[in-house]
């Protein structure tokens, strides 16, 4: 059995969890999320806990059990606390502006990069830092990865967009390598 998948998920106060066949819905103070559940697992909701039950003993079923448990746990955490992901922009002349729900990034190209944030993700900008927040962890991570792709981190001068907690492995330049 999956170690992660066997642990029950506690339903916190103020959260309503409903499970129709193959559709999990979670509603809380910050919003509502829904997700289609894989057919290899089933959910059992009772006594304030959600249990993920596998349909067989195959290796793939155990993996899906753990994945489903983590996704359901993230849904409950998202509707109660929410998630944040912070990005940092490094480089001379690199800037970011936020107007309503549109990020305008000046990243050294001949034109500014304009990115409309998806529904459910909000941003806050201060100097060279972008803090994305939302209730859906998967959508939030995908949005952060998309913004990061606009100017990948360059290993020689450290210019580009990176996650705040990311460590830069800097390379020595050509003239200093000898």
Domain boundary pick from 80, 115, 131:
80
Domain extent, residue 72, equals 3-80
Nearest CA to 77 among 31, 124, 142, 21? Answer: 31
Within this chain, do residues 153 and 92 fall inside the same structural domain, yes or no?
yes
Answer yes or no: do 115 and 69 share one domain. no
95 and 70 share a domain? no
Q: What is the mean pLDDT of residues 10-15?
A: 90
The packing angle between helices 59-80 and 137-149, to 10°, is: 90
Give this prediction's pTM: 0.87
| Residue that terminates a domain, selected from 56, 80, 104 | 80
pLDDT, residue 141, reads: 95
pLDDT in tens, 82-121: 999 999 999 999 999 999 999 999 999 999 999 999 999 9
Dist. CA 98–CA 104, nearest whole Å: 6
**CATH code for the domain in which residue 158 is found:** 3.90.930.12
Instruction: Assess contact for 72 and 23: CB atoms under 8 A.
Output: no
* Total of domains in the chain: 2
Q: Do residues 95 and 106 touch, judged by C-beta distance below 8 A?
A: yes
136 and 95 co-located in one domain? yes
């Amino acid at each position: 059995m999956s170690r992660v998948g066997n642990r029950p998920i506690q339903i916190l106060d103020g959260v309503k969890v409903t499970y129709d066949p193959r559709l999990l819905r979670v509603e809380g103070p910050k919003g509502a999320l829904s997700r289609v559940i894989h057919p290899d697992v089933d959910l059992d909701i009772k006594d304030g806990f959600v249990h993920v039950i596998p349909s067989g003993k195959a290796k793939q079923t155990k993996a899906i059990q753990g994945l489903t448990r983590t996704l359901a746990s993230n849904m409950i955490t998202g509707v109660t606390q929410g998630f944040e992901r912070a990005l940092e922009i490094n480089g001379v002349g690199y800037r970011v502006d936020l107007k309503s729900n549109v990020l305008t990034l000046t990243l050294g190209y001949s034109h500014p990069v304009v990115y409309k944030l998806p529904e459910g993700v909000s941003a806050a900008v201060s100097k060279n830092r972008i803090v994305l927040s939302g209730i859906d962890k998967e959508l939030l991570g995908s949005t952060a990865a998309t913004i990061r792709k606009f100017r990948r981190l360059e290993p020689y001068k450290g210019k580009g967009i990176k996650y705040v907690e990311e460590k830069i492995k800097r390379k020595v330049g050509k003239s200093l390598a000898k």
